Amino acid sequence: MDLFARLFSSETMRINLDHYCAGLSVFGASARNNLPMKLLFQTVVVLVTTGLSAHSESAFVLNERTVDLGNDVSLRVIESGQPESGATLVFIPGWSTSADIWREQINRFARTYRVISFDPRSQGKSTITTDGNTPETRALDLHTLLDRFGARRPVLIGWSQGVEDIAAFINLYGTDDLSGIVLVDAAIAPGAEGMAALGAQQAASQFATFAVYQAHQQKYLADMMHAIVSKPQSNDAIEGLVATGLQTPPDIGIAMRIADTFGVSRMPALKKINCRTLSIASAKSPVLAQQQAQAKQISHAHFEKIEDAAHAVFLDQPDRFEELLKSFVGSLATNNAYQNAATPAPRAEIDETVIPTCEQYRVAAKIVKVRHRQNRVRTLWNKLLYGWVAKGTRN
């Protein structure tokens, strides 16, 4: 009923009804009374169809599919937005979450850009597997998805564990094929070598949480979701996040956390980034200083912190997050246009000088290419001095 209410209150419907009534007035009252019901029905159908078309044009389609990556692993992928926009935003979720945690951003940015998000392996509705639950394997998965979806020079946006996945992606593939990177409220982990800096007490307390998670997964996830989102959310929203987290078995979830934080060091990725980067952090983040320090190690990086937000900054402050991301993506388009205009055309290859024989001179074409010169040389002296390459033979 809401849809029909919108249709019959729309400007398109009002104009069409005005035209319809005006047409009836031509025939007079008796003609209106005798108008066949079939014609009236057909007219209403046309008007409703027109309203539906106008409504559908303003909406965007949300496509959800399952993508087979091979080795018995499939990922659930969401795609929406404007493929012709030229910009593809790829939203990468964090630990034990799914593409649905980005739903607000997908809805907002699909109006302007092409948007892709997915459930990483062993999370959400993707395949639960004991194999490859590391940032490095998830980076391989991401690379395969980008290729399958024809995402040319995308912007990668990773949150929490997604930051580690982006770091692993950079270490494997570099950034030449990326337009930009957005790192959301997480510092890249230094691996096992960082445990000394972390301190024995802090490391021990972190491992203690693993035991709580394994023994009381649902309560652990509920407490975690309330901690990473500080703004009031509906019970359905929190329950949905918890239900998604429960899809990952605790043993696999712990293996992920250990691989993320205490696996290989992904710090070399900081020096490999040669595309523009935006780092967004919560002002309350316990690793705020590390995020700021790492942003300084990245060339062409910009750091922003969001006040009054917990770890899931895009849920607590969606308007501010949208503002920062929209400005960043817009600057990428401007910067790319400037670089394309400023880049000179590649120099034409010039053939090596040759010393002509008498027969070659006799049949040589009049237009020649000269080494280190772009102009045409027609004089015999310049031909003999620089040499030429025949472009054809005289008839």
DSSP 194: G
Q: What is the pLDDT of residue 14?
A: 37
DSSP-based three-state secondary structure for 297? coil
Between CA 315 and CA 226 the distance in angstroms is: 12
Distances (CA, A) of 188 to 94, 160, 215, 260: 13, 9, 28, 9
Is residue 40 within 8 Å of 17, Cβ to Cβ? no
pLDDT at position 22 over 50: no
Give me 330's structure tokens. Answer: 């817009």
pLDDT in tens, 128-165: 999 999 999 999 999 999 999 999 999 999 999 999 99
> Would you tell me the crossing angle of helices 11-33 and 37-58 to the nearest 10 degrees?
180
pLDDT above 70: residue 192: yes
Pairing state between β 155-159 and 73-81: unpaired
H or E segment and range at residue 156: strand 155-159
Is the distance from CB of 318 to CB of 234 less than 8 angstroms?
A: no
- Are the CB atoms for 356 and 370 separated by under 8 Å? no
Rg of the chain over Cα atoms, rounded to whole angstroms, equals 31
Give residue 10's pLDDT.
39
Tens digit of each residue's pLDDT (9 = 90 or more) over 236-264:
999 999 999 999 999 999 999 999 999 99
Residue 386: what pLDDT?
54
CA–CA distance, 134 with 123 (Å, rounded to integer): 12
Mean of pLDDT values over 10-29: 36
pTM for this structure?
A: 0.72
Residue 265 zone, left/alpha/beta (φ > 0; ψ -120 to 50; rest)? beta
Amino acid at residue number 1: M
- The per-residue pLDDT for 249 is 98
Could you tell me the pLDDT band of residue 29, with boundaries at 50, 70 and 90? very low
User: What is the separation of C-alpha 179 from the centre of its chain, rounded to a whole number of angstroms?
Assistant: 10
Q: What is the dihedral of CA 27, 32, 34, 35, to 10 degrees?
A: 90
Residue 358: the pLDDT is 59
pLDDT higher than 70, residue 9: no
pLDDT for the residue 393: 41
Query: What confidence tens digit (pLDDT) does each residue in 304-353 have?
Result: 999 999 999 999 999 999 999 999 999 997 665 444 444 444 443 434 44
The residue with greater pLDDT, 125 or 381, is 125
At residue 172 the predicted structure's pLDDT band, cuts being 50, 70 and 90, is very high
pLDDT for 321 equals 98
What pLDDT, on a 0 to 100 scale, did the predictor assign at position 378? 54
Q: What is the structure's pLDDT at 369?
A: 43
Q: Which of 27-31, 60-64, 291-295 has the lowest mean pLDDT?
A: 27-31
Q: For 198-231, write each residue's pLDDT tens digit.
A: 777 888 888 899 999 999 999 999 999 999 999 9
Q: Residue 101 — very low, low, confident or very high, per pLDDT cuts 50/70/90?
A: very high
Position 235 confidence tier, pLDDT thresholds 50, 70, 90: confident
For the cut 50, the answer to whether the pLDDT of residue 270 exceeds it is yes
* pLDDT confidence of residue 234: 86
Residue-level pLDDT at 214: 96
Kindly report which listed range (94-108, 112-126, 284-298, 351-365) carries the lowest average pLDDT score.
351-365
Q: How many residues does the chain have?
A: 395
